[in-house]
């Protein structure tokens, strides 16, 4: 028998994206409404012990990869401590973090020491005014965060850029050159209709096959891979160290190889980014569930994992914002 968590479609689940908060110090227009305040109440947040317990259960069920995300994970107190506790779990082989980098300058060294091995940083524009228009925040802090992360020893650092027609699609070449110059990996992402914000932003949807064709006119692109088994399809840029990944949930979805589930800050286990199937773990934890029963509950939840998202067929389906699920 195959070990670990296998869903009804034969997919092995070995990756948890762990949202440590639904709050954020930015307001990217495609993710969270500018005046949004309807956050989860703090007494509903899983505390660090509860999070560690759930991740331990997952790791004993064969999940070796964990990513800290949010909301903005660095807005929650104690994240470097949490990272150290999770990295110390025997089954956790790969601990990574997704951040907007606004507070990264302060935390980079501690996160690296804590055992975070890989870092993804969102960066949608290199123009300070445009960056501000997209996110509401200062680009310069992100750039300082990125240098602190390089200095702390993170490698590779992946830059995630949501490419939107008429918003920042004129910057893809500039972003390629920036990543070549700094030794970062670059990933382009298609806009997803998550929540009202994501649906509105999807007016700017750009099929990344178009971006790839455009880049091929300027750079020699060779087939490439990155270890990790994520959803990006990679190319290498000849004559450089740069790898570019294309994350195409809309134009070429990758549900058949989905290996992940998402744990929200309130203990809701989401089985798919684009569907409502979920299981509430918080009531079980707070009712004193045993470790064995917790693992059983996780196994039962995996049995609910749907086959695929329906962002294209039913773009109005997902009402929660990306920041609530743990993007």
Residues of this chain that bind ligand SAM (CB under 6 A): 24, 30-31, 69-70, 72, 98-100, 122, 160, 162, 189, 191-192, 194, 198, 201, 322-323, 327
The site partner of 32 among ligand SF4, ligand SAM, none (C-beta below 5 to 8 Å per kind) is ligand SF4
What phi and psi, each to the nearest 5 degrees, are found at residue 128? -55, -40
Q: Which of 89, 142, 87, 93 is nearest to 111 (CA)?
A: 87
Beta carbon nearer to ligand SF4, 83 or 324? 324
* Cα angle 126-123-88, degrees, rounded to a multiple of 5: 145
H helices of the chain, in order, are 48-60, 79-87, 104-114, 128-135, 139-152, 172-182, 195-201, 208-218, 282-286, 291-302, 322-325
What is the smallest separation between the CB atom of 137 and ligand SAM, expressed in angstroms?
11
In the bound state with ligand SAM, the residue whose beta carbon lies nearer, of 125 and 279, is: 125
**Interaction of residue 105 with ligand SF4, rule CB under 6 A:** no
Closer Cβ to ligand SF4, 237 or 322, answer by number: 322
> Could you tell me which of 20, 53, 22 has the C-alpha nearest to residue 37?
22
CB of 291 to ligand SAM, least distance (A): 29
- Using DSSP's 3-state secondary structure scheme, residue 45 falls into coil
Q: Map residues 29-68 to x or -, x wherever contact with ligand SF4 holds by CB under 6 A.
A: --xx------------------------------------
Among ligand SAM, ligand SF4, none, residue 27 binds (CB under 5-8 Å by kind)? ligand SF4
Region of 19-27, 49-57, 279-287, 288-296 interacting with ligand SF4 (CB under 6 A): 19-27
Question: Two tokens at 285?
Answer: 């934890």
Supply the DSSP string of 184-235, one letter for each residue: -EEEEE-----HHHHHHHGGGB--HHHHHHHHHHHS-EEEE--TT--S-EEE
Cβ–Cβ < 8 Å for 193, 311: yes
Q: Which is nearer to ligand SF4, 11 or 23 (CB)?
A: 23
Q: Is 26 in the site for ligand SF4 (CB under 6 A)?
A: yes
Residues contributing to the site for ligand SF4 (CB under 6 A): 24, 26-28, 31-32, 70-72, 100, 122, 135, 322-323
């Amino acid at each position: 028998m195959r070990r670990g968590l296998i869903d009804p479609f034969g997919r092995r689940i070995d990756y948890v994206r762990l949202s440590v908060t639904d709050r954020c110090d930015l307001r990217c227009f495609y993710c969270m409404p500018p005046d949004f305040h309807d956050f989860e109440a703090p007494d509903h947040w899983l505390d660090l012990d509860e999070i560690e317990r759930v991740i331990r259960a997952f790791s004993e069920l064969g999940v070796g990869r964990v990513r800290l995300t949010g909301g903005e994970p660095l807005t929650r107190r104690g994240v470097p401590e949490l990272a150290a506790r999770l990295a110390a779990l025997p089954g956790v082989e790969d601990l990574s973090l997704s951040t907007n980098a606004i507070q990264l300058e302060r935390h980079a060294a501690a996160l690296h020491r804590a055992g975070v091995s890989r870092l993804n940083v969102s960066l949608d524009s290199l123009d300070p005014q445009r960056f501000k228009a997209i996110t509401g925040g200062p680009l310069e802090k992100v750039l300082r965060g990125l240098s602190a992360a390089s200095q702390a020893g993170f490698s590779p650092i992946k830059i995630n850029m949501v490419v939107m027609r008429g918003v920042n699609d004129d910057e893809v070449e500039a972003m390629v050159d920036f990543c070549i110059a700094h030794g970062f990996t670059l990933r382009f992402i298609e806009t997803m209709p998550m929540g009202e914000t994501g649906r509105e932003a999807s007016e700017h949807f750009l099929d990344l096959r178009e971006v790839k064709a455009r880049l091929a006119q300027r750079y020699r692109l060779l087939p490439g891979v990155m270890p990790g088994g994520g959803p990006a399809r990679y190319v290498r840029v000849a004559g450089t160290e740069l790898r570019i990944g294309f994350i195409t949930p809309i134009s070429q979805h990758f549900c058949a190889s989905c290996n992940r589930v998402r744990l929200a800050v309130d203990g809701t286990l989401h089985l798919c980014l684009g569907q409502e199937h979920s299981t509430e773990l918080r009531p079980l934890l707070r009712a004193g569930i045993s470790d064995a029963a917790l693992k059983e509950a996780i196994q039962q939840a995996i049995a609910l994992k749907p086959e695929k998202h329906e962002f294209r067929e039913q773009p109005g389906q997902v009402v929660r914002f990306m920041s609530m699920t743990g993007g």
